[in-house]
Amino acid sequence: MSDVAPGGSPTSHYKRVLLKISGESFCRSGESGISMAEITSICEQIRNVVASGVELAIVCGGGNILRGKEFSAVSATINPSTAHYMGMLATVINGLALQDALENQGVSTRLQTAIRMEGVAEPFIRRRCIRHLEKGRVVILAAGTGSPFVTTDTAAALRAREIEANVVLKATRVDGVYAEDPEKNPHAVRYSEISFQDVLQQGLQVMDAQAFHHCMEHNIPIVVFNYKKVGNIGRAIAGERIGTRVVPASQIGNATEG
Ligand code: UDP
């Protein structure tokens, strides 16, 4: 699917991509917090493919630091809304780390947040975000939607529509969408492509329900892939056929989209 440009960078068949990276990819397996070594390896892949001209916005999660639902469940004295705001701030911490790691590798970036915090980052302004993308800057979108009780999956789906991204790339720990849980059945079949309707009918897990329905309603393809395999983030952005593509039924078997 991807070609190699004269400079050696893979060219992407997408014009504009929204990449959702969960917080767990910001730390070592089984740990929490931030590992700049892990982030740097992600950034190397991003640098190579962005050089080819694909426009890239990244929504980062915060689960390596705090998830509102989990934190409020174990902390009787915290208001659930407060816990979710803490989770959103965790995504800003990750966004700052990602920004510096990318800039260190010569990638021009902007960090935009859904909760205003002048002095740290720009506010998310749709038209400004798109302008940055058009100028070749990677835009990191942090603080989720700015509202509690949802996850950064939902932020990714909403922002993808706002910025008119061609696809949502969902980086996970598994190779894609399986007919059964691959951790329970090692022989479970992985789909290379599946329709939104079939995901629903079979009760499969792709993104959180709100995010999934938003993408389905607005025909935004989702690619679920394993970020732990070296090079996969770059391949996914470049549009190589890895993981599982979730698409409208009318696009099954059609390799390119909008
Ligand atoms: N969060 C929120 N609103 C949003 C996005 C995130 O309240 O729009 C909070 C929520 O508590 C969530 C936490 O931020 O658990 C971190 O995000 P998420 O769980 O999506 O991170 P990930 O699992 O992707 O690392």
Residue 111 within a domain: yes
What SS3 state is found at 195? strand
Average pLDDT over residues 148-162: 98
Alpha helices in 107-229 (DSSP H): 126-134, 152-162, 196-201, 209-217
Identify the residue whose C-alpha is closest to ligand 1 atom 14. Answer: 87
Residue 233 within a domain: yes
Structure tokens given for 181 = 């849980």
Average pLDDT over residues 92-106: 98
143 torsion bin: left (phi>0), alpha (psi -120 to 50), beta (else): left
Residue 224 within a domain: yes
Confidence of residue 257 (pLDDT cuts 50, 70, 90): very low
pLDDT of residue 254: 65
Number of domains observed in the structure of the chain? 1
Average pLDDT over residues 88-99: 98
State residue 4 phi and psi, 5-degree precision. -110, 125
Cβ-based burial of 145 (10 A; exposed 0-12, middle 13-18, buried ≥19):
buried
Average pLDDT over residues 125-152: 98
Establish whether residue 155 lines the binding site of ligand 1, counting it when its CB lies within 6 angstroms of any ligand atom: yes
Distance CA 244, CA 188 (A): 14
Residue 11 within a domain: no
Are the C-beta atoms of 181 and 204 separated by less than 8 Å? Answer: no
Q: What is the mean pLDDT of the chain?
A: 93
What SS3 state is found at 145? coil
What is the model's pTM? Answer: 0.94
The H or E element spanning position 189 is: none
Q: pLDDT tens-digit profile of 186-219?
A: 899 999 999 999 999 999 999 999 999 999 999 9
Q: Which residues contact 89 (CB under 8 A, 6 or more apart)?
A: 62, 115, 143
How many of the other CB atoms lie within 10 Å of CB of 32?
14
Bridge-based pairing of strands 222-226 and 3-4 is unpaired
Which residue range(s) make up the domain with 39? 16-251
Establish whether residue 22 lines the binding site of ligand 1, counting it when its CB lies within 6 angstroms of any ligand atom: yes
Distance CA 130, CA 57 (A): 9
Which of 34, 60, 88, 112 for mutating ligand 1's site (highest number of atoms within 8 Å of CB)? 88
Establish whether residue 60 lines the binding site of ligand 1, counting it when its CB lies within 6 angstroms of any ligand atom: no
CATH at 206: 3.40.1160.10
**Residue in this structure with the two tokens 């991807």, named with its chain if needed:** 2
Q: pLDDT tens-digit profile of 14-71?
A: 999 999 999 999 999 889 999 999 999 999 989 989 998 999 999 999 999 999 999 9
Residue 9 within a domain: no
State residue 232 phi and psi, 5-degree precision. -65, -35
Residue 7 within a domain: no
pLDDT of residue 183: 81
Residue 101 within a domain: yes
Residue 2 within a domain: no
One-letter amino acid for residue 148 of the chain: P
**Residue in this structure with the two tokens 């058009």, named with its chain if needed:** 134
Q: How long is the chain?
A: 258
Distance CA 98, CA 102 (A): 6
Establish whether residue 95 lines the binding site of ligand 1, counting it when its CB lies within 6 angstroms of any ligand atom: no
- Ligand 1 mean position, distance from CA 143 (Å): 8
Establish whether residue 67 lines the binding site of ligand 1, counting it when its CB lies within 6 angstroms of any ligand atom: yes
Average pLDDT over residues 220-239: 95
Q: Which residues contact 64 (CB under 8 A, 6 or more apart)?
A: 23, 24, 25, 26, 27, 32, 33, 34, 90, 94
Distance CA 170, CA 59 (A): 10
- Atom from ligand 1 closest to the CA of residue 88: 14
